Structure 1
Amino acid sequence: MIALGFTVMCLIFGTTFLAIKVGIDAGLAPFYSASIRFIAAGGLLFVYMLWKKKAALSLLWRKETMLTGFLITFGTFSTLYWAEQHISSGLAAVLSATGPIMILLLQTIRTRQRAPFLSAAGCAVGFAGVFVLMLPGLKLDFSYMWLAGCLVVLLGELCYSGGALYSKSVMNRRPDESPLALNAAQMLFGGFLLLILSLVVEQPRPDQILSVPALGSILYLTVAGSMIGHSLFYWLIAKTNPVFPSTWLYISPLIAMGLGSLVYGEAFSWVSAAGALIILAGIILVNLRSLQTLLVGRKQAAPTPLQNHAESA
């Protein structure tokens, strides 16, 4: 069951980027579709946690929930959904994988302590991979909106990284609270922020979701991406250890890139594939010590760079 759960989680997290692209290409306003997804997913999960008596309504208006929701759901996904109007889903997926590297940089700045050599090398390798990944687009079909899309995804990962560090400190202060309840509450709050943004800048229409591709995109992202995928992530943590489930990060971006090319006809080059592999190599270096711990079978707390990265797409 553990192997099956891990496989399903990797497949879900590897397909959500393409599902976002399908919805946007079907005419969905980016912020509007994101808001529907997270309000629905967060609301259903939070009601379930209330029914299980593992959450309290007061969680919805706590400042911790608001700040986490602003950074992790609103900051990460407003940028990602906007960017996928201008870049491929595979490129968005691999750029989104830079989250652990961003977290290490923020940790280093916050603590004012020098990062270990391998971790610092991992950051350098990762950002070199970002340049290689973007190189074909810079040379062949450059546009300012394409470049803006790439940079906006990286900005969203910076928001995610700040939110992940903050949510980690919240969970340390409140160890008795369910991480799934906290995640549901922050998705709900971030979803309402996305809806407000949509009403201000997009003037969305409900009939946008009536086409089969648009409705299918929202349903898949809500049920599979935000509910099943996240629940499997926390289930695997409970059944194994905090490090193992997070290794999806080395698999799903490659799934997303291959799927976008094979199924959706997105441009693919071996230079881009090399860039993706370089980025993943950098992420492995950043988290090498924890991965070594996983391989030798010793249990210990997961590193901050990989924890709580269930916000795949």
Structure 2
Amino acid sequence: MSVPAAYLVVILVWSTTPLGVQWSSQGLSPVAGALSRMFLAALLGWTAARLLKVAVPWHRQALKIYAVSNIGLFVGLICVYIGASYISSGMISVLFGLSPIASAILSRYFLREPPFSVSRWMAVLLGLCGLVISFSQSVMLTGNSYLGFLLVGFGMLCFSISGILIKREPFDMHPLAQTVGSLTLATPLYAISGLFLGLEVESLTLRTVAAILYLTVFGSFIGFFCYFYILKHMRASSVALVTMVTPVLAISLGVYFNGEAVTPNLVIGALLICACLLLFYWGDKLVARAAVDTRSANLEK
């Protein structure tokens, strides 16, 4: 598989996942929806590994990689599932839009990347402003939005940390093996958490079942396979740039399929976050180009 194709798959999957998470939790507890998704995806993964003859290692280094992967796959995702009960799918995607900034800041300390320039710090402030504007109206409408904001925000940080720590591991593993091993470890973790948080199943609608199956095949198996694949070939901060595109698609899907309201604050906040990402990744180049043009103009005079 080519890296651009895998990157496109991740964009499409991450754009539809917030809505799928909400639908898959209708009629059952959030943990029950996540557990069913992980269990079925693990079965699908083992089947694919057997057919493709890909070995799934269980030595110490492999277990360490699976554990690091579950910082996002288990800790992060369970927070997103619970938080999805309190905020819209569009807001989930907008909040995850800041994951490139979080990844870049964390990479500065974990991967020893160079310090931020002035334009990058300006981008961080711009993104925070966009986040505050996006959630200001929702928080005024319902106090539960605070809880959803904190849970999904913490989940976003877990995904960012997980991606960075995986890049630190020297062991080279097949993306399918990493996907299957991580899903296999996630399944009992969700089952254990369900004993404390509840695994209630009230009623299952066709839409709920379809959402679980979609998240099983695309959100968990194919999505994480492509995610680990591009993470292997790209920088963690570059992979996180996927979220620059997903908010627009996710908000549109939430409005069309879930009847979610688009507030002016949400639109303005999403645009500010997109502008923040553009400034963060291309601001230094624009400043350097402007300096070269100014120098050239002065020489011509």
Matched ranges for 1:107-122 at <5 A: 107-110=107-110, 111=112, 114-122=115-123
Structure 2 CA distance for aligned equivalents of residues 168 and 290 of structure 1: 25
What is the CA-CA distance between 1:290 and the residue it aligns to? 11
What is the CA-CA distance between 1:113 and the residue it aligns to? 6.1
Matched ranges for 1:48-127 at <5 A: 48-58=48-58, 62-110=62-110, 111=112, 114-127=115-128
Change beyond 3 A, Cα 1:62–1:136: same
Q: Match of 1:147, as an amino acid?
A: Y
- In the superposition, the TM-score normalised over structure 2's length comes to 0.80
Structure 1 CA distance for aligned equivalents of residues 228 and 122 of structure 2: 30
Structure 1 CA distance for aligned equivalents of residues 28 and 284 of structure 2: 40
Q: Match of 2:123, as an amino acid?
A: G
Residue segments in structure 2 that go unaligned for 5+ positions in a row: 287-301
- Post-superposition Cα deviations, 1:260-308, rounded to whole Å, max 9, x if no partner, equal 122211121122111012112223333338999xxxxxxxxxxxxxxxx
Structure 1 CA distance for aligned equivalents of residues 257 and 208 of structure 2: 17
Q: Structure 1 residue 271 and structure 2 residue 271: aligned?
A: no
Change beyond 3 A, Cα 1:112–1:13: closer
What is the CA-CA distance between 1:254 and the residue it aligns to? 0.9
Structure 2 CA distance for aligned equivalents of residues 236 and 62 of structure 1: 19
Are 1:46 and 1:55, in contact at CA under 8 Å, matched by a contact in 2? no
Structure 2 CA distance for aligned equivalents of residues 147 and 83 of structure 1: 9
Residue segments in structure 1 that go unaligned for 5+ positions in a row: 293-313
What is the CA-CA distance between 1:114 and the residue it aligns to? 3.0
Matched ranges for 1:1-313 at <5 A: 9-24=10-25, 26-58=26-58, 62-110=62-110, 111=112, 114-139=115-140, 141-143=141-143, 145-170=144-169, 173-175=170-172, 177-205=173-201, 208=203, 210-232=204-226, 242=234, 248-288=242-282
* SS in structure 2 of the partner of residue 91 of structure 1: helix
Computed over aligned residues only, the root mean square deviation of the Cα atoms, in angstroms, reads 3.2
Query: Could you say which structure has the larger radius of gyration?
Result: 2
- Post-superposition Cα deviations, 1:111-166, rounded to whole Å, max 9, x if no partner, equal 49632333323222211111011121134x131x2111011111111111211111
How many aligned residue pairs are there? 282
Structure 1 CA distance for aligned equivalents of residues 49 and 285 of structure 2: 32
- In the superposition, the TM-score normalised over structure 1's length comes to 0.78
Structure 1 CA distance for aligned equivalents of residues 229 and 9 of structure 2: 12
Percent identical residues: 23
Structure 2 CA distance for aligned equivalents of residues 215 and 135 of structure 1: 33
**More off after superposition, 80-89 vs 121-130:** 121-130
Structure 2 CA distance for aligned equivalents of residues 284 and 256 of structure 1: 19
